[in-house]
Amino acid sequence: MTAADPHRATHRAIEAVWRIESARLIAGLARIVRDVGLAEELAQDALVIALQQWPEAGVPDNPGAWLMATAKHRAVDLLRRQERYERKLDELGRDLETRQESAGPDLDAALDDHIGDDLLRLIFIACHPVLPVEGRVALTLRLLGGLTTEEIARAFLVPEPTVAQRIVRAKRTLAAKRVPFEMPAPDEMAERLSSVLEVTYLVFNEGYSATAGDGWMRPALCEEALRLGRILAGLMPREPEVHGLVALMEIQASRVRARTGPSGEPVLLLDQDRARWDRLLIRRGLDALDRAEARGGALGAYTVQAAIAACHARALRAEETDWERIEVLYRVLAHVSPSPVVELNRAVAVGMAFGPARGLEVVDALTSERTLAGYAQLPAVRGDLLAKLGRLDEARQEFDRAAALTRNDRERALFLERSAACRGTSLAL
């Protein structure tokens, strides 16, 4: 082992600690300084100090506590230097300086006592509706996922400066709007929770079906969304839609290994080897679905989608899928959360349950929907139904349209392959 090897190992350990502890660290600091941007800067300062000291001194026994103590000391020093220090102390309701000098380790313990509340507050701030969706996603991955700007940019295939600008603007907006570091008021909770769940599922979906690039999936994003969802479920156990979203993500994530072939090519749901589905994730998803449904009341959109996913998960073979139940659930989903995309998915279920002609009727009713004009799945679904009806020339044209619309290279290759298959079958006839 060279002299540099121990330092490389220490740096890898620091990166791992940061990924695990950064959200907790920023959340605790934000409660002290009441500023998310400043809290992240203080946390980063602690990380820099660790990078300087740990390679020589060694990784502490409790690295998370070390980072928290270091960052907290810098926060107190900063507050001392600010003219508004006394006012900030009044806002906190305690003399932080006195507690710091007299309590010592007790202050760390008190900070840890609030960690659940702190994390939850940080989630609601990062996903605040005052921010644009792109800003919420970037800030959430940065603060709660511990991802670097470069990692976020790579995950979403956008330039790194674009992501950096989104994060900076998000922090500035939160400061300018004076968004308080506290849980939403009861009358704001539904909207704010909806935003949190939306951001979490957006991250998951981008990992599950990448919208652009040469990869069919980005599993790391799925993992980050699942991690955030599980944190939410632990912090908000009485919210049925939190459990519904976790159930949906767990069940969908169970298929990840089966969704690609040996060369990374897409494998569609009905063609997947279900023996490769992760049964542990399916069990976890079904348990979460049970918890969501046990809360009673009307089912939310995520819980209904999880129930649809559960129909697939419970079918050991594709031909055992209960498509009629899935079609009914899509009707429920259309009532809970109406959208042309939901209706397009229902068309697939109608085609599977009652025949492609019936499914095509539903799809044809959607062709005038302006919101689906650039949506590759519309011609792809129509092409599939046409192919099943033997209308191969029309099907080929639809698959070609789908290939022209998608920005994902793997998906484009899949559509072109299906187009070629229609052409080849047509010639054989």
| pLDDT tens figures, 396-416 | 999 999 999 998 888 999 999
With a cut of 80, say whether residue 49 has pLDDT above it. yes
Other beta carbons within 10 Å of 102: 10
Whether 383 and 400 have beta carbons less than 8 Å apart is answered as no
Residue 348: name the closest of 318, 384, 312 by CA.
384
Beta strands in 109-255 (DSSP E): 212-213
The tens digit of pLDDT for each residue in 170-182 reads 999 998 998 888 8
The tens digit of pLDDT for each residue in 263-308 reads 888 899 999 999 999 999 999 999 999 999 998 878 999 999 999 9
Name the pLDDT band for 4 (thresholds 50, 70, 90): low
With a cut of 80, say whether residue 87 has pLDDT above it. no
With a cut of 60, say whether residue 101 has pLDDT above it. no
With a cut of 50, say whether residue 323 has pLDDT above it. yes
With both helix axes pointing from N to C terminus, report the angle between 36-57 and 160-176 in degrees, rounded to the nearest 10: 120
Number of helices (H), then strands (E), in the chain: 21, 2
With a cut of 60, say whether residue 327 has pLDDT above it. yes
What is the Cα–Cα distance from 381 to 384, expressed in whole angstroms?
A: 5
Structural tokens at position 182: 């506290």
Output the CA–CA distances (angstroms, integers) from residue 31 to 35, 128, 168, 180, 190, in the order listed: 8, 17, 20, 10, 23
Give the end-to-end CA distance of the chain in Å, rounded to a whole number.
67
With a cut of 90, say whether residue 417 has pLDDT above it. yes
**pTM check: above 0.95:** no
Task: Note the pLDDT of residue 423.
Answer: 83
Other beta carbons within 10 Å of 374: 10
The mean pLDDT value of the chain amounts to: 84
Task: Note the pLDDT of residue 100.
Answer: 47
Stretch 49-61: mean pLDDT: 86
Q: What are the φ and ψ backbone dihedral angles of 56, each rounded to 5 degrees?
A: -95, -45
- Give, as one character, the DSSP assignment of residue 407: E
What domains does the chain contain, in order, with CATH numbers? 1-113 (no CATH), 128-215 (1.10.10.10), 237-321 (no CATH)
- Residues of the chain with pLDDT > 90, as a percent, come to 42
What is the Cα–Cα distance from 226 to 236, expressed in whole angstroms?
A: 15
Residue 319 burial (C-beta neighbours within 10 Å; 0-12, 13-18, 19+): exposed
Name the pLDDT band for 77 (thresholds 50, 70, 90): confident
The tens digit of pLDDT for each residue in 25-35 reads 888 888 888 88
CA count, 13 A, side-chain hemisphere, 394: 12
Task: Note the pLDDT of residue 104.
Answer: 43
DSSP 16-48: HHHHHHHHHHHHHHHHHHS-HHHHHHHHHHHHH
